[in-house]
Amino acid sequence: MRLPDGIRKSANVLLCLTAVAGIGLSGQEIWRNLHARWQIDAGCGGLVPAGRVLALDRAGGKITHRRGESETIEVERLASGPEQCGLVSAEAGGRWFFTGAVGVYPSAAVREADSPSLPPLDQFGPLNYAPQPLGGGITGFVDDTGVRVELPCTGGKVVGKPVTALWAHARLEPPSFFAEWGQPGAGDRDVLAETAVVTANRLAERLGCDERLPDPPSGIPALPEGPVPADRAGGTCAWYRESGLAGRDHLPDTVLEGGIDDNLMDERCVLVMSRGAALDTHGALWDELDPVGPPNQPGQWFVTLHTYLGDAARKVIVPGGAGEDDVHARPGTAGRAPGDSVWWASSDCGGRPQLHTMTIDFGYVRAMISEAEDLLRTYAAEVADRRTCTDLTLPEPASFTVD
């Protein structure tokens, strides 16, 4: 059907206007994408893959990088400690939504052992998660913010100083995310894994390392919720159930544990007294615990057991109590932090040092000090045996007292 001339002219004008508008919108989108990539490269030292970051759920709209020396990656500073970049997204409400972090071993940075005054559980959140191994032939883990990967480094250097290993961590920042109850959604988990791997490989190339990581697995599962009853422990806390310690009076009845990956430089088992069990224990030991009051928050009474392997074990600091100095827990030694409920042991893994720490809530330690030596000995021996490590060194029995 032939349109009348007047109507045909109007239709042509409308089509032209639509095309021009489309070109304008497309141009704006292209410009926004190019600007976002420039911001990511500028803030993250060209290490973090901009295309992967832009695939995250909350990466829409204008992207900018956080300004400041501590929020911009400079590879030349890695010998002094980790570097990170932070990104802000309009779609996340103009908030900081992503962090890319990298580090090398050895470096001047230290690791602080768990503190007796900082409960490991989120006492105000509904759920808690323990890191799980990434898999796919990659040494790394998935936690409730993102993915961290590790890579040995042969031949690499930072400002002329040899590097033995490196790591990269791609994570989301609350409260701009978490589609699955306190952890990144399924799509974001895969993107974060790809981001971490590419970042590590780019850093390896920049430093001159021989090694590279393979592509990460896809379909990364959600983290399991915790804590779980101690009689179900089957990962990094399996030793607690298998040894029978989980059934002893006044010891924790739940655990927060990760899966096993013996190549990880950082592995942890958390023992947690449920609120009901903690109140029962406090009531049964009222006289011995005085002046310690009953726990008033879930997870307040806890024991954390932590293992650091290789270069990660060389610079672990344990916190001293009030008025006391912190202590360097050196590989090959064992002891206790002065005036605080933190102990350490050590072992040797074919020339690679390994350090094991145990931290007990400063109030709860009075209720279970008689079991503390058994806990650390059993835990450290299980990890050392599982990893075929020797020369286990433990603290003196006399150190397991309440000051």
Q: State pLDDT tens for residues 154-194.
A: 999 999 999 999 999 999 987 545 556 788 999 999 999 99
Cβ partners under 8 Å of residue 377, min gap 6: 345, 394
pLDDT band at 36 (very low <50, low <70, confident <90, very high): confident
Tell me which residue of 292, 295, 299 sits closest to 270, measured CA to CA. Answer: 299
Please give the pLDDT value at position 95: 85
pLDDT band at 94 (very low <50, low <70, confident <90, very high): confident
A 10 A CB-CB count for 187 gives: 13
Sequence spans of domains, the chain? 62-109+131-221, 225-399
Burial class of residue 111, CB neighbours in 10 A (0-12, 13-18, 19+) = middle
Please give the pLDDT value at position 321: 82
Phi, psi for 254 (deg, rounded to 5): -135, 160
Please give the pLDDT value at position 188: 94
Q: ∠69-73-77 over CA atoms, to 5°? A: 80
Q: State pLDDT tens for residues 95-146.
A: 889 999 999 999 999 999 999 999 999 876 667 999 999 999 999 999 999 9
pLDDT band at 61 (very low <50, low <70, confident <90, very high): confident
Cβ partners under 8 Å of residue 323, min gap 6: 339
Tell me which residue of 230, 52, 54, 211 sits closest to 139, measured CA to CA. Answer: 211
The CA R_g of the chain, rounded to the nearest whole Å, is 26
More confident residue, 285 or 237: 237
Strands 83-89 and 63-65, sheet pairing: antiparallel
Please give the pLDDT value at position 179: 59
Q: ∠305-79-87 over CA atoms, to 5°? A: 80
Tell me which residue of 155, 376, 359, 139 sits closest to 245, measured CA to CA. Answer: 376
Please give the pLDDT value at position 175: 54
